[in-house]
Each structure stands twice: as C-alpha cells, then as structure tokens.
C-alpha cells in the first residue's frame, strides 16, 4: 500500500503511542512473566518481543496510516 500523504507528529508523542501499543501486547502475551520481579524492566524474552512489536507497530503506522515522527523531517533535509 503506497502512502499518498504523510502526517508528521511530535516525536515524543509518536514514540509514546507506539510504546503503549507494544507494551500492552507484550503484557498480554507474557502475563506475569513480563516484568522482572526485582525491578520494573522487561524480562529478556519480553524485551525481545517488545522490540519486535515496537518495530512492527512503527512500520504499520508509517506504511498504513502515513503517520511519521517529526524526526523524519530533519533526517530528509
């Protein structure tokens, strides 16, 4: 699917949105095994899954919705 119009939003808002999606799907998949018990970080397996989901959701936002973070603007100058 070719994006006809790109919409740019503030990088921090874009990242927060993608992070929330990736975190929620990671928690749904790993349940109680999502977080390290001694500190609030993902387990190694959950972190790997989260990274994959973050990349996938970012790509979907770009390719399907045409939504990009505003860092894309400075990168292309």
Q: What is the DSSP letter of 41?
A: S
Q: Cα–Cα–Cα angle for 9, 13, 17, nearest 5°?
A: 110
Paired with 7 in beta bridges are 67
For the chain, what is the domain count?
Answer: 1
pLDDT reading at 1 higher than 80: no
For residue 1, being part of any structural domain is answered with no
pLDDT at residue 77, as a whole number = 58
Q: What is the pLDDT of residues 45-67, one digit of tens each?
A: 999 999 999 999 999 999 999 99
For residue 2, being part of any structural domain is answered with no
Helix axes 44-60, 11-30, angle to 10 degrees: 130
pLDDT at residue 55, as a whole number = 98
For residue 47, being part of any structural domain is answered with yes
Give the range of the structural domain holding residue 36, as residue numbers without chain letter.
7-75
SS3 of residue 67 by DSSP:
strand
pLDDT reading at 26 higher than 80: yes
Mean pLDDT in residue range 27-43: 93
């Amino acid at each position: 699917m070719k994006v006809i119009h790109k919409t740019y939003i503030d990088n921090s808002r874009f990242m927060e949105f993608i992070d929330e999606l990736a975190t929620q799907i990671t928690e749904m998949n790993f349940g109680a095994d999502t977080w390290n018990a001694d500190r609030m970080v993902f387990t190694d397996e959950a972190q790997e899954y989260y990274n994959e989901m973050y990349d996938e959701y970012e790509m979907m936002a770009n390719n399907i919705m045409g939504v990009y973070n505003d860092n894309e603007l400075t990168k292309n100058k």
